Structure formats: C-alpha cells, structure tokens
Structure 1
C-alpha cells in the first residue's frame, strides 16, 4: 500500500460542498487533501443552473448565501472561476405573485439585503423577447451572480491547489478507520491517507462507506430535468438569472411572506407543475445557449431507483411549452438535455452526522448547494475544528 503523509483534514467528495470545506480549512492554515472518486465530476454540482441566488432562501440560509456571494467574488478577484455579476430577477405574472414580491421586498429591507421593485415597463425594457402579457412587476437583486458549473468547480480546484490543496481525483474511498486520535482513509487502488479529521460531503460516498446509516437516514433524492437551446443569435443577450411566477410560488424565501400560505392553498394539487415540481428558470450560458428548466421528482433513499435513469420527455415538453409563454427566444431548438440528482432532508435543512468523533458526514444540502455551500462551509469548519 502507498502510505501518504498526514493531513489535518481529508475531504471526501470534490463537489461544491466538499470543495468549499477544503477552501475554508486551507484559509485557516490547515493541511488539506481532497479525494474525489471521478476524474471528471459527474454529480449535482455540474448538473445545475449555476445561479447563486440568496434571494430564494429563507432567512437562515440567506445569511449563508450572502456570505457565499462575498466568497465567490473574492475568489474571482484573484482567480477566474467564471463568476458573472448580472443579478437575478423574479417576474410576477399575476396579482398574487405581485403581492408576494412586495412582501419579500419588505423582508429584504429588514434584512438589509438589496432588492429593487421594477415596473412592468422597466422589466420589459431589460429583457428582450419577454411576453408583455405575462409580466406584471418584478423584483431584481443586483448583487447576485452566475457561474458556469463545470468550469467553476474545475477552476476552483485549480485555485485551491495554488493554495496548497492536495487533490486526488479518480480515487474511490472504500474504508475509513479510526486509529487513536486520527483517521486512516483507504482507497480502492491501495492509497492510505491519514488525517486528524475526515469530512464526507458526497451522498454516494456516504452510501458506499456507511450503507446502513445511509439507508436509515432522513435523506430523500430529488431528480431534476433541464435543457439548453442551441446558441442564440449574437445580438441576443439575456442577463442574469430569470425566475418566474412558478419560482415565486416555490422558493423558500417566499414561504416567509404573510400571504404565501393562503396563496398556496388555492393551487390545484392535480396540475402538471405540481405533479412534476416544475418551475421555469432561464439563464444564458457563455456560449450563447439558453438553459431552461426545471423539474423536481422525489423518492426516499430506499426507493431512489424508482426515479429512473432516463429523461421524461413529457416533462421536457411541458417545460418548453411553459417557457414559450414567457419568452419569445429567437431559437428554441434544443441542443442538450440532462438530469441531475441531489439529496435533501425530509425535516432538517442539511444532514450532519459525526462518527467516532473525527469522521463527519455533511450532505443533503438539497438545492441550496451552489448558493449556500461556501457560506455554510465556513461556519462548519469553524465548528468542527473549534476555531
């Protein structure tokens, strides 16, 4: 076996949650190794929109998300990780959604988080091709950013390596063994790494290493479908993240609005958007394509296979039909379709479990990963290492 030098921390899982745990540990002066089972990431981190939108989170996670914004921008000022500050907008399509926007605006003011209510006219002027009949008002968040997920995570790894990170990709961890005050981490190819502490930030690694605990956990699996159009004409530009009426009716931030509960009670439980968990998002990627989505289907960890491994084309068609009611894109031809899966908790907002004092499982962050991981990881590293 190859015995590797000792680290203060080994992070298992190279997605956004694991990578930002490594980032904050390195910033605290710790010697860190990151072990990722795939040579090229394949999980939830690279299968999402790449929007960093604290505006959509409840008060607790908005705090983490706002810290994340600062961290993304700080890294971008030193090393290009594809961050674009173009803002996010929520577009209301009826008076109920307008009411929620105004209520969220008041919550934002109380939290000192900048947002701007835009009239119908201002919204139309800022977004070419938007259906004027759809728009009533909108709420704009100028500080929010976009990233290109696959580019961002690989560049973040490169940046961390310049700061001293030992990155081991394409290595599957098969066992953790507590030895006194340390943990030995064994990989399938015979590598052995010793660390003061281990943090497991990937649901599949959690399942492989501790299958019984995983099976008994409160985790559920969400499957999301998204797609990308072919590149739009060079003169067509769509700025920022665009979230629409169904997003207003879904995102956690709006659940804190006084009118939210009564508005939700009036919604049809038989609708396709309810059945498939659809809300319509738009984002233009750097290649000119427009990413459109998404859907949410759920299953317990014991029944995750029921979600299937194929794309449901009925869901995709429904998303496209709804998207066309909102934006007249020059090109709706689809060049790519994909799905992603992530874990989240039934009751808690994130899954945290400590094994043998020095092995920490941190997963189940759900759809908050790209936005909340950087800020949450900072607090969690401080907690684990008693900083």
Structure 2
C-alpha cells in the first residue's frame, strides 16, 4: 500500500525525531520510519546530558533553543527531563583559567553560569576528592535525560498529541524521485510516497547511498561507557564534567588561553590515545554512568572499529574516575559502546538529491544537545519557511 505524506523522515534517533517534531509543528503530515523495532543507536547509548555550555558559539545557540524545547515538552508530558545543572571541575590552575575565560564568554552571551570555589564544589558534590578539585563552573539551566527511555517517551507524546505516524522495522532500501514525488521502498516491499524525504541515518551508511558516504569526509566515533550498580543513600546532582573535558570540549577552544595550554599537553598520554575524558551522571535508579572514550574510523572503514569492548580502556577510565569522585561503590553493572558519525571538516553533513531528498546526518557528539534546536532551522530551510 502506497500512503502519501508531506514528509517522511528516515531514522528514529534524536535528529530524525526532532525533524519530525518541527515538521508537525508546521502542520505537515509526517511519517517517521525506523529500521529497528525501536531506536537503539547513539540516541540511547549516551550519557543523556544536554550541555550547551560545551558547544562553540554557533552551536550553543541551537543548544539553548533545545533546552527551551525540552523544557516545554516536559511541562506537557514526562520525557524524563531533569533540570539539575552542569558543573565543570578544574583540577589545576590551567583548567581553572579556562573556566574563568569561559564564564566571561558566556556572560557576554547572556548565558547564566557561576564560578564555584573548591569548598563550594566539595560541599555540593559528595565524594568529590579534595586532592582533585580546585574550583568549578556551574550552569544551572542545563538538564539531563534518561537516554534509554527519553526518545521513546518523546515519540509516544508525538504520536498521541501531535499526530505523528511511526513505522518500525521499516528498512529503506530505495528512495527515488518519481512524477513530482519521492517514493520509498522497504526491504519488505512496502512503499511510501512524500513530497520530501529527510534522511537522518546516524552511522548506518550501508542501506542508502553507500558510495556517497564512503566518498565523504564522514567518520564514525566509537565511545565506551559503563554504569555502576545503584548507589545507596547517595545523590550526585546533574552532569559532572572534569578537567579532561575542559581540555576537550569545543567551547573551550574559544578561550584565549586554550591553544597555549593544549601545546603543553603530552602527546603520548593514554587519554589522548583513546580520546578519554571523564564524565559522571547519576541515572534515575541511583546508578552512576561514567566514561567515555573516542576511537575514530572513516565512514568507509567503520567496521574496523569492531563490536567488542577494550577492557584496557575501561580499566583506565575506572582508575581515573576514582581519583576524582569516591562513590559508595564502583561495582559495574553494565558496559557498552555507542557509535555516532561526524564530519572532519564541517559541523554537520547535508546533501540534497533530486531537489526533494535531503540527507542530514553527522551531527557528532552534539546530537542530544543540539538536535532539537538545529532541526527547527533545518525543517524551515527544507520547506522554505
């Protein structure tokens, strides 16, 4: 059966879902198709941190729009959003200097943040090691979500309250412009038609336009994370980002001292080899998610990243985490990895085929924070609004 829509979104992750959200806001008839029974890619395999503070000036605007969108939806329907803030903990003078400079940048941008002294940090974050913390920078507006459930709750809201249609286990194997419409063919011989198609396929480059992706500057990142057993009688509020995060996140690259500080870093450290920066976030059940690492391959060689976990990476992250926060227990309940795609030379991958087939992918690690805001601009551009 060939059903017709204003737009079909291919990919049920965070970027595709928010493209669908903003298309629905324009009053369009929208179908979201997902190749699996439910989204299970990078959208569900991350920390669930919404941190515009970590983005450069351009993407912080999208991130701040995303915060407003998350909070608006949460006021209508529980999608697991909790406003408990983000803190960056400096471990030395260099990192603290970057925090001071970032606060000045955000002050000029009108984005609320406040410096924390060492004693402030130790009082606010139980278990934080006095030998590690020198000071902090806190962003009170930022939120966390439960990544394994948020996207499903969001889609439930969009189906029930906004009129979204979702088709799961719908693997698109063909997408062709025909007689003024775009026709999609699934692996089970189902067909859909739409005025426009938006393809948000994350790091899955095998089914549609594989040659296009292989010849692009897209790369795939593999991130390792782990989760402790629930912590008894212990509360760690918000997102806890540490010194290596300060040295890694793109927001800090806009600080005057950044380049000089980066030049002094040892090139052969394990954190550079494995792209590690230590993050903490407490889940709703009291467990603590920690990580993460970054290993990269070109889109054409993404399979070389493998399907296993490197236990040397996990063990190193654990040993470093214990130097920062002493949790009641570090018993690991789950270990996993996630994959996302990003561009080497651009901040997102966009390609338009036959005028009405729009590929939007490669948002990288900005997905959870930037997708809601960016997708609004993207949909407006696609529909000339």
Q: If the TM-score is normalised by the length of the shorter chain, which range does it land in?
A: over 0.9
The residue number in structure 2 matching 1:264 is 262
What is the CA–CA distance in structure 1 between the aligned matches of 2:288 and 2:115, rounded to whole Å? 25
The residue number in structure 2 matching 1:312 is 310
What is the CA–CA distance in structure 2 between the aligned matches of 1:133 and 1:205, rounded to whole Å? 43
Alignment root-mean-square deviation, CA? 0.8
Q: How does 1:210-289 map to 2 (within 5 A)?
A: 210-233=209-232, 235-289=233-287
Superposed CA deviations along residues 153-212 of structure 1, whole A, max 9, x for unmatched, are 001110110211010011111101101321011111221111000000013554311011
Superposed CA deviations along residues 128-156 of structure 1, whole A, max 9, x for unmatched, are 01001111110000000000012100011
Q: Is the 8 A contact 1:115 1:141 kept in 2?
A: yes
SS where residue 48 of structure 1 aligns? coil
What is the CA–CA distance in structure 1 between the aligned matches of 2:287 and 2:205, rounded to whole Å? 35
Q: Is the 8 A contact 1:221 1:300 kept in 2?
A: yes
Superposed CA deviations along residues 20-67 of structure 1, whole A, max 9, x for unmatched, are 000000001000000000002221100000000000000000000000
The residue number in structure 2 matching 1:114 is 112
The residue number in structure 2 matching 1:303 is 301
Q: Is the 8 A contact 1:203 1:364 kept in 2?
A: yes
SS where residue 98 of structure 1 aligns? helix
What is the CA–CA distance in structure 1 between the aligned matches of 2:170 and 2:203, rounded to whole Å? 14
Please state how far the C-alpha of 1:303 moved relative to its aligned partner: 1.8
What is the CA–CA distance in structure 1 between the aligned matches of 2:196 and 2:205, rounded to whole Å? 16
Q: Is the 8 A contact 1:175 1:186 kept in 2?
A: yes
The residue number in structure 2 matching 1:353 is 351
The residue number in structure 2 matching 1:165 is 164
Please state how far the C-alpha of 1:310 moved relative to its aligned partner: 0.3
What is the CA–CA distance in structure 1 between the aligned matches of 2:203 and 2:356, rounded to whole Å? 20
Aligned residue pair count: 384
What is the CA–CA distance in structure 2 between the aligned matches of 1:49 and 1:328, rounded to whole Å? 19
Compute the TM-score of the two structures, normalised by the length of structure 2.
0.99
SS where residue 53 of structure 2 aligns? helix
What is the CA–CA distance in structure 2 between the aligned matches of 1:218 and 1:205, rounded to whole Å? 15
What is the CA–CA distance in structure 2 between the aligned matches of 1:114 and 1:91, rounded to whole Å? 17
Q: Is the 8 A contact 2:52 2:369 kept in 1?
A: yes
Please state how far the C-alpha of 1:365 moved relative to its aligned partner: 0.3
Runs (4+) off by over 3 Å: 203-207
What is the CA–CA distance in structure 1 between the aligned matches of 2:47 and 2:11, rounded to whole Å? 20
Q: Is the 8 A contact 1:13 1:205 kept in 2?
A: no
SS where residue 73 of structure 1 aligns? helix
Kindly tell me: are residues 140 and 379 of structure 1, through their superposed partners in 2, closer, same or farther at Cα, counting changes over 3 Å?
same
Of 12, 15, 18, 2:13 maps to 15
Q: Is the 8 A contact 1:12 1:205 kept in 2?
A: no
Please state how far the C-alpha of 1:305 moved relative to its aligned partner: 2.0
Pair 1:58 & 2:56 matched: yes
Kindly tell me: are residues 25 and 129 of structure 1, through their superposed partners in 2, closer, same or farther at Cα, counting changes over 3 Å?
same
Q: How does 1:75-224 map to 2 (within 5 A)?
A: 75-162=73-160, 163-204=162-203, 206-224=205-223
What is the CA–CA distance in structure 2 between the aligned matches of 1:19 and 1:203, rounded to whole Å? 12
Q: Is the 8 A contact 2:244 2:277 kept in 1?
A: yes
